[in-house]
Amino acid sequence: LAQLLLDWLNGGSDIGVFAARGVIPYLLEGNILAARTFISHFLSQLILSRPAILAEKTPVTVGDTSDEVYITTDQVLNFLQLAIRTCQRAHGDKNKTIREAWVRLCGSYQSKGGLMTAPPMRKACLKFILYYLHQIGQLYFGMPPPRGQTGNPLQDMMSSLFGGPGAGPAAPRTLTPASGMNLD
């Protein structure tokens, strides 16, 4: 998938948006390992074809582990790497520190001078990403949906067209942390 999206990118400048197309669906499905594998392959292939994408030549080590983050010139790529690491450490609404880290991470990339100051076409793609970030916040960190957000916008729109009541918000979907699963 990483190679396919890089081929599809074909020299364009929206590198982060293409990477988000691979990472966000995996995070929404709760598959952090697949998201990490995708971003790892995407970055390794991207660095081979465009070495200038790296802002720093050596990766930054995260925490006490051998987990590494490549600082790039693309804000979305940097955000995606940090988002995966933050979701990996989530424990629903039980870990307030990680939950606050997620809010700060999203806030810093949405603030003035952040992702939303992009050209109009890229900004439209990023609005979809922000919508999914709210869902990821609910899924991994037990965060409530933003005020005014309903459970299914398409269903609400169709209900209003045909004179029916709105569906109301759906029950939030959350992930429980994996704990010593037996496959036998």
pLDDT confidence of residue 97: 87
CA proximity to 55, closest of 67, 73, 41, 40: 73
Q: 181: burial class by Cβ within 10 Å (0-12, 13-18, 19+)?
A: exposed
pLDDT confidence of residue 80: 92
Per CATH, the architecture of 2-146 is what? Alpha Horseshoe (1.25)
Largest CA distance in the chain: 59
**Is residue 4 scored above 80 in pLDDT?**
no
Q: Which amino acid is present at 32? A: I
CB 13 within 8 Å of CB 22: no
pLDDT confidence of residue 33: 93
Q: What is the mean pLDDT of residues 103-116?
A: 72
**Is residue 36 scored above 90 in pLDDT?**
yes
**Is residue 123 scored above 60 in pLDDT?**
yes
Contact residues for 140 (Cβ-Cβ < 8 A; gap 6+): 27, 87, 90, 92, 102, 174, 175
Q: What is the mean pLDDT of residues 33-56?
A: 88
Name the residue ranges covered by the structural domains of the chain. Answer: 2-146
**Is residue 103 scored above 80 in pLDDT?**
yes
**Is residue 150 scored above 60 in pLDDT?**
no
Tokens matching residue 60: 């930054």
